[in-house]
Amino acid sequence: MLELDERLQRLQAQMREWSGEVHRLALEVDASPENIEKLIELPALRYLATLLIPADRQPSPLRLGPHVYDGTRCIERVVAIEELASADAAAVLAAPGPSLSGVIVAQLADEEQKEWYYQRLLSAPRWTFFALTEPAQGSNAGQLTTRLHRDGDAWRLTGAKRYVGGAARADLGVVVARRSGGPLGVTAVLVETSEPGFAAVPLPTVGLRAAGLSAITLREVPVSEDRFLGRHLPATARGMNAVTRTFHQFRPGVAAMALGVARAAHKYVTDHRRTLRVAERHRLDELAARIHTVRRLVRLAAARVDADPTDGALGSVAKVRAVALAEQATALAPRFFGSGARLDHPLLDKLARDALGLEFMEGTSHMQKLSYVQSHLKGRLTGV
């Protein structure tokens, strides 16, 4: 699985070609995330803006030679994301387009909802959001308190969300709320940010600053029933299970971002230290070998979830390993440049901050470890 077929090799080469421009803007957008406007003009961001929109719904999906790409398969996403994240992981998160909301839409939306959602995203580059995490309850879907409640004939959303990527820039997105008790009472709804009662503000952050993490307040936001995702599906398919499957699909991509950050740290050292002592050379070679091993795991996790969307166990392992690698690589790299390295080399400082952001995104390593121990006990982690 480490070797890419010709189709994915072409994609990787294209992303590599496009990544230079993304990299050139990385520090500028990190310093002032409002400079995002410069980023979204780049071909790489234009591609990311259509990622997860099925090719047969796009007027001009990315074509390379005889192949068409839309990122609806996880393996395609991890190949593209690793390359672009090695230029700037925050830029990957900052891209307009479906992102995490696109995964749940693909899973739960009916034909009418898909048509509406994809058309909105194809008519102009628009940001979307996926709001699960809450200020008091975190991202534990079982505990969420945002309510989807009846008000006469109408439905309304009331509650608060926090650390939601891109929400303050978005035009539309998905809010996960509780309609009734228990796991089946969890409901995902499509929401437009122009609705009365919806407010989102950017949060000050240390890492992945371009991603635009936001806090959302929902004050009796009206939602019509035709915006309830999964309305045509049995309750078991659209409740908490759907949220869990969404993360299973997305998590190998987060692991690929971390892998990209580790690569960027390694590359920075090789580019800026012409000569290395033997011990330094060994440390760098060891890091390169670990990057190679984790890449294999990330690709295996993506292939696993493509084969079975309910199987996120390997994705959890991949995320833990890739984030640990990013943290180790970004801690190691400054040691090649002396005690003031993070001041003298701002990119090394940014890479270390971004690695920590990835640790929290999509569940911390503690939570992933709990999840894969449970999978192991159920016998799902065999053959890895």
Ligand X SMILES: Cc1cc2nc3c(=O)[nH]c(=O)nc-3n(C[C@H](O)[C@H](O)[C@H](O)COP(=O)(O)OP(=O)(O)OC[C@H]3O[C@@H](n4cnc5c(N)ncnc54)[C@H](O)[C@@H]3O)c2cc1C
Residue whose CB is nearest to ligand X in the complex, by number: 138
Q: Toward ligand X, which CB reaches closer, 69 or 163?
A: 163
Q: How far is the CB of 294 from ligand X (least distance, A)?
A: 19
Q: Toward ligand X, which CB reaches closer, 86 or 133?
A: 133
Q: Toward ligand X, which CB reaches closer, 253 or 357?
A: 357
Q: How far is the CB of 25 from ligand X (least distance, A)?
A: 19
Q: How far is the CB of 203 from ligand X (least distance, A)?
A: 10
Q: How far is the CB of 368 from ligand X (least distance, A)?
A: 9
Q: Toward ligand X, which CB reaches closer, 61 or 183?
A: 183
Q: Toward ligand X, which CB reaches closer, 18 or 130?
A: 130
Candidates 116, 183, 175, 173; CA nearest to 148 is 175
Binding site for ligand X (CB under 6 A): 100, 130-133, 138-140, 163-165, 208, 211, 213, 357, 360-364, 366-367, 370
Q: How far is the CB of 301 from ligand X (least distance, A)?
A: 18
| Beta carbons of 363 and 317 less than 8 angstroms apart | no
Q: Toward ligand X, which CB reaches closer, 100 or 301?
A: 100
Q: Toward ligand X, which CB reaches closer, 337 or 360?
A: 360
Q: How far is the CB of 243 from ligand X (least distance, A)?
A: 10
Candidates 2, 232, 212; CA nearest to 110 is 232
| Beta carbons of 365 and 333 less than 8 angstroms apart | no
CA atoms within 13 A on the CB side of 112: 8
Q: How far is the CB of 122 from ligand X (least distance, A)?
A: 22
